[in-house]
Amino acid sequence: MKIYPFIVLLCLTSCISLKYNFTGGGEIDERIKTLSVVPFANEASTVISYHSQQFTEQLRNRFLQQSNLALLANNGDIQLSGAIMSYSIVPVAVSGGSTINTGAAQNRMEVSVKVKYENRINPIENWEQTFRSFQDFNASTPIASVERELIEKINDQITQDIFSKSLGKW
């Protein structure tokens, strides 16, 4: 009767405790309960009036939707602060057959955001980093007609990157 391997396997699996979360990363310290996001300043040379507020709100919403942290106005267990450092639109693809009619076929909106992450429970996890993202768009499209949508998409990518670095442990 070869029941021993089954018993050994049963004993081993009963002693192992697995924790899993849906953020795609490691476990959050159970002592961390709150988050505060200081409004991000806009230090870019080109300032879009709504960009700072929109970015701050998207960052707050990202953490509220993807974690169990409660939002505080200040002094959270985790505090995020920073600034939008750059906003630019540059040509990335050229069109036209002759050098006389050559122009940009695609433009790129680029944004960089400097973030300071403070973990008041475990300060060894504190960090500062600049995050960048971009969106390409047709050069014949007036920027005013796509600007808000592009900024929202860029903010979405940057806030996901910030979340992954801070709580996702990526």
CATH number at residue 137: 3.30.160.150
- In whole angstroms, how far apart are CA 9 and each of 17, 20, 78, 82, 144? 14, 21, 41, 50, 63
Percentage of residues in the chain having pLDDT higher than 90 = 72
Contact 119, 125 (CB under 8 A): yes
DSSP, residue by residue, 108-146: EEEEEEEEEEEESS-GGG-EEEEEEEEEEEETTS-HHHH
Q: pTM of the predicted model, to two decimals? A: 0.79
Q: Which domain holds residue 35?
A: 4-166
pLDDT band at 11 (very low <50, low <70, confident <90, very high): very low
Residue 26, both tokens:
């490691």
pLDDT tens track for 153-168: 999 999 999 999 998 7
For the chain, the domain total comes to 1
- Which 8-state DSSP code applies to residue 24? S
